[in-house]
A = this chain, B = another copy of it.
Amino acid sequence: MDWRENVRRVEPYVPGEQPNKKNMVKLNTNECPYPPAPGVEKLAREFDCDNLRLYPDPSSKVLVDALAQYYHVSPEQVFVGVGSDDVLAMCFLTFFNSDKPILFPDVTYSFYDVWAQLYRIPFKTCSLAEDFSLVAEDYMQPNGGIIFPNPNAPTGVMESLDTIRQILDANRNVPVIVDEAYIDFGGVSCLPLLEEYDNLLVVQTFSKSRAMAGCRIGFAIGSKEMIGYLNDVKFSFNSYTMNRPSLILGVEAIRDKEYFEKTVAKIIATRERVKKELTDLGFHFPDAKANFIFASHERVPAQEIFQALKERDIYVRYWNKPRIHNYLRITIGTDEEMDQLLAFLKEYLRGR
Protein backbone atom coordinates (compact mmCIF):
# COMPACT_ATOMS: atom_id res chain seq x y z
CA MET A 1 0.00 0.00 0.00
CA ASP A 2 1.11 3.52 -0.74
CA TRP A 3 -0.42 6.94 -0.09
CA ARG A 4 -0.53 7.54 -3.84
CA GLU A 5 -3.11 4.80 -4.33
CA ASN A 6 -5.99 6.87 -3.03
CA VAL A 7 -5.10 10.16 -4.62
CA ARG A 8 -7.89 11.62 -6.77
CA ARG A 9 -6.32 11.68 -10.23
CA VAL A 10 -7.77 14.18 -12.64
CA GLU A 11 -7.06 15.61 -16.07
CA PRO A 12 -6.78 19.24 -15.08
CA TYR A 13 -8.37 22.03 -17.09
CA VAL A 14 -5.78 24.06 -18.95
CA PRO A 15 -6.60 27.77 -18.74
CA GLY A 16 -5.86 30.14 -21.63
CA GLU A 17 -2.29 31.42 -21.81
CA GLN A 18 -1.64 34.45 -19.64
CA PRO A 19 1.25 36.03 -21.53
CA ASN A 20 2.48 39.29 -20.07
CA LYS A 21 4.36 41.10 -22.80
CA LYS A 22 4.67 44.77 -23.50
CA ASN A 23 2.63 45.82 -26.54
CA MET A 24 0.97 42.42 -26.88
CA VAL A 25 -2.62 42.24 -28.13
CA LYS A 26 -4.40 39.91 -25.73
CA LEU A 27 -7.62 38.60 -27.28
CA ASN A 28 -7.53 35.09 -25.81
CA THR A 29 -9.44 35.03 -22.50
CA ASN A 30 -12.56 37.16 -23.16
CA GLU A 31 -11.59 39.85 -20.73
CA CYS A 32 -13.08 43.33 -21.01
CA PRO A 33 -10.78 45.79 -22.83
CA TYR A 34 -11.96 48.69 -20.66
CA PRO A 35 -11.19 49.28 -16.98
CA PRO A 36 -13.78 48.66 -14.23
CA ALA A 37 -16.21 51.41 -13.22
CA PRO A 38 -14.37 54.56 -12.05
CA GLY A 39 -15.82 54.19 -8.55
CA VAL A 40 -13.84 50.97 -8.13
CA GLU A 41 -10.57 52.88 -8.26
CA LYS A 42 -11.90 55.47 -5.82
CA LEU A 43 -12.93 52.80 -3.31
CA ALA A 44 -9.60 51.01 -3.64
CA ARG A 45 -7.84 54.27 -2.72
CA GLU A 46 -9.99 54.64 0.39
CA PHE A 47 -9.80 50.97 1.36
CA ASP A 48 -9.25 50.50 5.10
CA CYS A 49 -6.31 48.09 5.19
CA ASP A 50 -6.41 47.76 8.98
CA ASN A 51 -9.65 45.84 8.54
CA LEU A 52 -7.82 43.18 6.54
CA ARG A 53 -6.95 41.61 9.89
CA LEU A 54 -10.65 40.71 10.30
CA TYR A 55 -12.51 37.92 8.50
CA PRO A 56 -14.89 39.09 5.80
CA ASP A 57 -18.65 38.75 6.29
CA PRO A 58 -19.32 35.06 5.54
CA SER A 59 -22.74 35.89 4.06
CA SER A 60 -21.25 38.49 1.67
CA LYS A 61 -24.31 40.59 2.50
CA VAL A 62 -23.27 43.87 0.84
CA LEU A 63 -22.63 42.18 -2.48
CA VAL A 64 -25.65 39.88 -2.33
CA ASP A 65 -27.89 42.87 -1.52
CA ALA A 66 -26.43 44.95 -4.36
CA LEU A 67 -27.07 42.10 -6.83
CA ALA A 68 -30.58 41.48 -5.51
CA GLN A 69 -31.42 45.14 -5.96
CA TYR A 70 -29.94 45.28 -9.45
CA TYR A 71 -31.77 42.18 -10.68
CA HIS A 72 -35.00 42.82 -8.74
CA VAL A 73 -34.92 39.57 -6.79
CA SER A 74 -34.79 38.78 -3.09
CA PRO A 75 -31.34 38.53 -1.43
CA GLU A 76 -32.25 34.94 -0.57
CA GLN A 77 -32.24 34.20 -4.30
CA VAL A 78 -28.61 35.25 -4.77
CA PHE A 79 -25.43 33.21 -4.23
CA VAL A 80 -21.93 34.64 -4.77
CA GLY A 81 -18.64 32.86 -5.32
CA VAL A 82 -15.01 33.21 -6.41
CA GLY A 83 -15.79 33.73 -10.09
CA SER A 84 -18.50 31.81 -11.91
CA ASP A 85 -16.15 28.81 -11.97
CA ASP A 86 -16.42 28.54 -8.18
CA VAL A 87 -20.20 29.00 -8.39
CA LEU A 88 -20.54 26.35 -11.10
CA ALA A 89 -18.26 23.87 -9.30
CA MET A 90 -20.44 24.28 -6.17
CA CYS A 91 -23.52 23.71 -8.35
CA PHE A 92 -22.09 20.47 -9.74
CA LEU A 93 -21.33 19.28 -6.21
CA THR A 94 -24.71 20.35 -4.81
CA PHE A 95 -27.17 19.44 -7.54
CA PHE A 96 -25.68 16.73 -9.75
CA ASN A 97 -25.84 13.61 -7.55
CA SER A 98 -28.03 11.35 -9.65
CA ASP A 99 -26.99 7.97 -11.10
CA LYS A 100 -28.33 9.19 -14.43
CA PRO A 101 -25.95 11.22 -16.59
CA ILE A 102 -26.11 14.97 -16.68
CA LEU A 103 -26.40 16.45 -20.18
CA PHE A 104 -24.48 19.25 -21.87
CA PRO A 105 -23.46 20.12 -25.44
CA ASP A 106 -20.54 18.38 -27.16
CA VAL A 107 -19.03 21.77 -28.00
CA THR A 108 -19.21 23.93 -24.88
CA TYR A 109 -17.30 25.40 -21.95
CA SER A 110 -14.41 23.02 -21.37
CA PHE A 111 -14.83 22.98 -17.59
CA TYR A 112 -18.09 20.99 -17.55
CA ASP A 113 -16.52 17.61 -18.19
CA VAL A 114 -13.63 18.50 -15.88
CA TRP A 115 -16.02 19.12 -12.96
CA ALA A 116 -18.00 15.99 -13.80
CA GLN A 117 -14.79 13.95 -13.68
CA LEU A 118 -13.58 15.67 -10.51
CA TYR A 119 -16.80 14.83 -8.66
CA ARG A 120 -17.35 11.52 -10.48
CA ILE A 121 -20.67 12.62 -11.94
CA PRO A 122 -21.83 10.55 -14.94
CA PHE A 123 -22.31 12.74 -18.02
CA LYS A 124 -23.37 12.53 -21.65
CA THR A 125 -22.81 15.16 -24.31
CA CYS A 126 -25.46 16.09 -26.90
CA SER A 127 -24.22 17.10 -30.35
CA LEU A 128 -24.93 20.62 -31.45
CA ALA A 129 -26.49 20.97 -34.91
CA GLU A 130 -24.26 21.71 -37.91
CA ASP A 131 -24.72 25.47 -37.30
CA PHE A 132 -23.69 24.99 -33.63
CA SER A 133 -27.24 25.58 -32.33
CA LEU A 134 -28.68 23.47 -29.51
CA VAL A 135 -30.99 20.57 -30.44
CA ALA A 136 -33.71 20.87 -27.78
CA GLU A 137 -35.05 17.33 -28.38
CA ASP A 138 -31.72 15.84 -27.27
CA TYR A 139 -32.38 17.21 -23.79
CA MET A 140 -35.61 15.25 -23.47
CA GLN A 141 -33.95 11.92 -22.67
CA PRO A 142 -33.68 10.65 -19.08
CA ASN A 143 -30.99 12.61 -17.24
CA GLY A 144 -29.69 13.73 -13.86
CA GLY A 145 -29.53 17.42 -14.69
CA ILE A 146 -28.77 19.82 -17.52
CA ILE A 147 -26.26 22.59 -17.99
CA PHE A 148 -25.40 24.78 -20.98
CA PRO A 149 -24.04 28.28 -21.51
CA ASN A 150 -26.19 30.86 -23.27
CA PRO A 151 -24.70 32.30 -25.41
CA ASN A 152 -22.69 29.10 -25.81
CA ALA A 153 -18.91 29.10 -25.41
CA PRO A 154 -16.76 29.07 -27.47
CA THR A 155 -19.25 29.39 -30.36
CA GLY A 156 -21.01 32.60 -29.28
CA VAL A 157 -24.36 31.17 -30.44
CA MET A 158 -27.42 32.50 -28.61
CA GLU A 159 -30.49 30.35 -27.97
CA SER A 160 -33.96 31.90 -27.76
CA LEU A 161 -36.05 31.87 -24.60
CA ASP A 162 -38.45 29.59 -26.53
CA THR A 163 -35.78 26.90 -26.89
CA ILE A 164 -34.85 27.19 -23.22
CA ARG A 165 -38.48 27.01 -22.24
CA GLN A 166 -38.88 23.80 -24.28
CA ILE A 167 -35.96 22.25 -22.43
CA LEU A 168 -37.31 23.41 -19.06
CA ASP A 169 -40.80 22.08 -19.79
CA ALA A 170 -39.39 18.65 -20.55
CA ASN A 171 -37.20 18.70 -17.41
CA ARG A 172 -39.24 19.85 -14.45
CA ASN A 173 -37.74 17.17 -12.21
CA VAL A 174 -34.03 17.80 -12.60
CA PRO A 175 -31.89 20.88 -11.99
CA VAL A 176 -31.36 23.00 -15.11
CA ILE A 177 -28.45 25.44 -15.00
CA VAL A 178 -28.06 28.18 -17.60
CA ASP A 179 -24.57 29.64 -17.60
CA GLU A 180 -25.00 33.24 -18.76
CA ALA A 181 -21.37 34.39 -18.54
CA TYR A 182 -21.75 36.27 -21.84
CA ILE A 183 -25.40 37.31 -21.67
CA ASP A 184 -24.79 41.06 -21.37
CA PHE A 185 -23.42 41.41 -24.90
CA GLY A 186 -26.77 41.39 -26.64
CA GLY A 187 -28.38 38.22 -25.32
CA VAL A 188 -31.75 37.79 -23.63
CA SER A 189 -31.41 36.50 -20.06
CA CYS A 190 -33.70 33.73 -18.85
CA LEU A 191 -33.90 35.36 -15.39
CA PRO A 192 -37.64 36.13 -15.96
CA LEU A 193 -38.27 32.37 -16.28
CA LEU A 194 -37.29 31.91 -12.62
CA GLU A 195 -40.84 32.77 -11.61
CA GLU A 196 -42.14 29.71 -13.42
CA TYR A 197 -39.38 27.16 -12.81
CA ASP A 198 -38.07 26.44 -9.31
CA ASN A 199 -35.49 24.03 -10.75
CA LEU A 200 -33.79 26.70 -12.88
CA LEU A 201 -30.54 28.34 -11.82
CA VAL A 202 -28.94 31.20 -13.74
CA VAL A 203 -25.19 31.82 -13.32
CA GLN A 204 -23.41 35.03 -14.30
CA THR A 205 -20.01 36.65 -13.74
CA PHE A 206 -18.23 39.96 -13.15
CA SER A 207 -15.28 38.80 -15.29
CA LYS A 208 -16.56 39.81 -18.71
CA SER A 209 -19.06 42.67 -19.00
CA ARG A 210 -18.10 44.14 -15.62
CA ALA A 211 -14.32 44.17 -16.22
CA MET A 212 -13.53 42.50 -12.89
CA ALA A 213 -11.85 39.20 -13.89
CA GLY A 214 -9.00 40.08 -11.51
CA CYS A 215 -11.38 40.22 -8.55
CA ARG A 216 -12.98 36.79 -9.05
CA ILE A 217 -16.70 37.35 -8.57
CA GLY A 218 -19.46 35.15 -9.95
CA PHE A 219 -23.04 34.68 -8.86
CA ALA A 220 -26.12 32.49 -9.23
CA ILE A 221 -29.75 33.54 -9.08
CA GLY A 222 -32.50 30.99 -8.51
CA SER A 223 -35.30 29.96 -6.20
CA LYS A 224 -34.74 30.52 -2.49
CA GLU A 225 -34.68 26.76 -2.08
CA MET A 226 -31.92 26.15 -4.63
CA ILE A 227 -29.85 29.03 -3.27
CA GLY A 228 -30.31 27.65 0.24
CA TYR A 229 -28.90 24.24 -0.76
CA LEU A 230 -25.99 25.93 -2.52
CA ASN A 231 -25.20 27.99 0.56
CA ASP A 232 -25.28 24.89 2.77
CA VAL A 233 -22.66 23.22 0.58
CA LYS A 234 -20.61 26.41 0.32
CA PHE A 235 -20.61 26.73 4.13
CA SER A 236 -19.42 23.13 4.33
CA PHE A 237 -16.54 23.96 2.05
CA ASN A 238 -15.29 27.36 3.17
CA SER A 239 -17.19 29.98 5.19
CA TYR A 240 -15.22 32.90 3.90
CA THR A 241 -14.72 32.59 0.15
CA MET A 242 -15.17 36.24 -0.83
CA ASN A 243 -12.39 38.45 0.48
CA ARG A 244 -12.84 42.01 1.68
CA PRO A 245 -11.46 43.73 -1.44
CA SER A 246 -13.83 41.67 -3.67
CA LEU A 247 -16.86 42.48 -1.58
CA ILE A 248 -16.19 46.21 -1.48
CA LEU A 249 -15.06 46.66 -5.08
CA GLY A 250 -17.74 44.30 -6.40
CA VAL A 251 -20.55 46.39 -4.96
CA GLU A 252 -19.25 49.46 -6.77
CA ALA A 253 -18.93 47.55 -10.07
CA ILE A 254 -22.59 46.53 -9.94
CA ARG A 255 -23.84 49.94 -8.82
CA ASP A 256 -22.57 51.95 -11.77
CA LYS A 257 -25.18 50.94 -14.35
CA GLU A 258 -24.44 53.83 -16.68
CA TYR A 259 -20.76 52.97 -17.05
CA PHE A 260 -21.63 49.31 -17.49
CA GLU A 261 -24.10 50.03 -20.29
CA LYS A 262 -21.69 52.38 -22.04
CA THR A 263 -18.86 49.82 -21.92
CA VAL A 264 -21.02 46.99 -23.18
CA ALA A 265 -22.38 49.17 -26.01
CA LYS A 266 -18.83 50.01 -27.10
CA ILE A 267 -17.85 46.32 -27.16
CA ILE A 268 -20.95 45.42 -29.18
CA ALA A 269 -20.28 48.23 -31.68
CA THR A 270 -16.69 47.04 -32.12
CA ARG A 271 -17.88 43.45 -32.54
CA GLU A 272 -20.36 44.37 -35.26
CA ARG A 273 -17.73 46.29 -37.18
CA VAL A 274 -15.16 43.47 -36.84
CA LYS A 275 -17.74 40.96 -38.06
CA LYS A 276 -18.03 42.84 -41.35
CA GLU A 277 -14.28 43.16 -41.75
CA LEU A 278 -13.65 39.51 -40.97
CA THR A 279 -16.30 38.52 -43.54
CA ASP A 280 -14.54 40.66 -46.15
CA LEU A 281 -11.31 38.80 -45.32
CA GLY A 282 -12.91 35.42 -46.04
CA PHE A 283 -13.86 34.40 -42.50
CA HIS A 284 -17.22 32.89 -41.61
CA PHE A 285 -18.69 32.43 -38.13
CA PRO A 286 -21.94 31.78 -36.32
CA ASP A 287 -23.67 35.04 -35.41
CA ALA A 288 -21.72 36.29 -32.38
CA LYS A 289 -23.75 37.40 -29.37
CA ALA A 290 -20.86 37.32 -26.87
CA ASN A 291 -17.71 39.42 -26.49
CA PHE A 292 -15.91 37.16 -28.94
CA ILE A 293 -16.21 35.87 -32.48
CA PHE A 294 -15.71 32.19 -33.28
CA ALA A 295 -14.28 32.36 -36.76
CA SER A 296 -13.04 29.98 -39.45
CA HIS A 297 -11.28 30.99 -42.66
CA GLU A 298 -12.40 29.77 -46.09
CA ARG A 299 -8.88 28.84 -47.12
CA VAL A 300 -6.23 28.99 -44.39
CA PRO A 301 -6.34 26.49 -41.47
CA ALA A 302 -7.11 28.07 -38.09
CA GLN A 303 -4.04 26.56 -36.43
CA GLU A 304 -1.74 28.25 -38.94
CA ILE A 305 -3.39 31.64 -38.43
CA PHE A 306 -3.19 31.10 -34.65
CA GLN A 307 0.56 30.50 -34.84
CA ALA A 308 1.17 33.42 -37.17
CA LEU A 309 -0.76 35.75 -34.83
CA LYS A 310 1.15 34.48 -31.82
CA GLU A 311 4.46 35.25 -33.48
CA ARG A 312 3.31 38.86 -33.74
CA ASP A 313 2.25 38.86 -30.05
CA ILE A 314 -1.43 38.79 -30.96
CA TYR A 315 -3.06 36.17 -28.75
CA VAL A 316 -6.36 34.48 -29.65
CA ARG A 317 -7.66 31.08 -28.49
CA TYR A 318 -7.42 27.85 -30.47
CA TRP A 319 -8.48 24.29 -29.56
CA ASN A 320 -7.30 21.26 -31.47
CA LYS A 321 -10.55 19.42 -30.78
CA PRO A 322 -13.18 17.61 -32.88
CA ARG A 323 -15.58 19.91 -34.79
CA ILE A 324 -13.81 23.13 -33.76
CA HIS A 325 -10.19 22.55 -34.87
CA ASN A 326 -10.63 24.98 -37.74
CA TYR A 327 -11.93 27.87 -35.62
CA LEU A 328 -10.33 30.71 -33.68
CA ARG A 329 -12.01 32.35 -30.75
CA ILE A 330 -11.22 36.05 -30.98
CA THR A 331 -12.08 38.24 -27.99
CA ILE A 332 -13.40 41.72 -28.79
CA GLY A 333 -10.77 44.18 -27.58
CA THR A 334 -10.55 47.94 -28.06
CA ASP A 335 -10.97 49.34 -31.58
CA GLU A 336 -7.22 49.90 -31.71
CA GLU A 337 -6.47 46.30 -30.77
CA MET A 338 -8.93 44.98 -33.34
CA ASP A 339 -7.37 47.24 -35.98
CA GLN A 340 -3.97 45.71 -35.24
CA LEU A 341 -5.45 42.24 -35.60
CA LEU A 342 -7.25 43.10 -38.84
CA ALA A 343 -4.23 44.85 -40.34
CA PHE A 344 -2.07 41.83 -39.67
CA LEU A 345 -4.67 39.40 -41.02
CA LYS A 346 -5.10 41.47 -44.20
CA GLU A 347 -1.38 41.32 -44.90
CA TYR A 348 -0.94 37.71 -43.81
CA LEU A 349 -3.87 36.35 -45.83
CA ARG A 350 -2.76 38.21 -48.95
CA GLY A 351 0.48 36.24 -48.89
CA ARG A 352 -1.33 32.87 -48.56
A-side residues, CB < 8 A to B, are: 1-15, 18, 26, 29, 31-36, 40-41, 44-45, 47, 49-58, 82-83, 85-86, 89, 93-98, 114-115, 117-118, 144-145, 172-175, 199, 207, 211-216, 225, 229, 231-233, 235-246, 249
Contact = CB atoms under 8 A, between A and B. Distances in A.
B34 A53 contact: yes
Nearest to A249: B52
Q: List 9 A-B pairs, minimum CB-CB distance, nearest first.
A: A12-B235, A214-B244, A245-B245, A15-B239, A52-B214, A53-B211, A41-B49, A35-B50, A6-B97
16 contacts: A1-B173, A4-B225, A6-B144, A6-B145, A12-B232, A15-B58, A31-B53, A36-B49, A44-B44, A49-B249, A52-B215, A52-B249, A53-B214, A118-B236, A216-B240, A243-B243
Given A232-B12, A236-B13, A240-B85, A3 B174 contact: yes
A28 to B, nearest CB: 10
B243 A6 contact: no
A20 to B, nearest CB: 8
Nearest to A45: B45
Given A214-B51, A214-B244, A12 B236 contact: yes
A46 to B, nearest CB: 10
A18 B61 CA distance: 12
Given A3-B172, A12-B231, A55-B214, 15 more contacts: A3-B199, A8-B229, A12-B233, A12-B235, A12-B236, A14-B235, A15-B55, A26-B54, A36-B49, A36-B50, A53-B213, A82-B240, A86-B241, A89-B237, A89-B238
B96 A15 contact: no
Given A3-B95, A34-B53, A85 B239 contact: yes
A43 B329 CA distance: 35
A216 B243 contact: yes
Contacts of A231: 12
A76 B32 CA distance: 32
A98 to B, nearest CB: 4
Contacts of A225: 4
B40 A54 contact: no
B49 A6 contact: no
Given A36-B52, A212-B53, A7 B229 contact: yes
Contact of A40 (B52, B173, B175): B52
Given A13-B239, A15-B240, A240-B85, A40 B35 contact: no
Given A214-B244, A237-B118, A240-B83, A7 B95 contact: yes
Contacts of A241: 82, 86, 216
Contacts of A52: 35-36, 40, 211-215, 249
Contacts of A243: 82, 214-216, 243, 245-246
Most chain B CB within 10 A, of A3, A145, A199, A212, is at: A3
B240 A13 contact: no
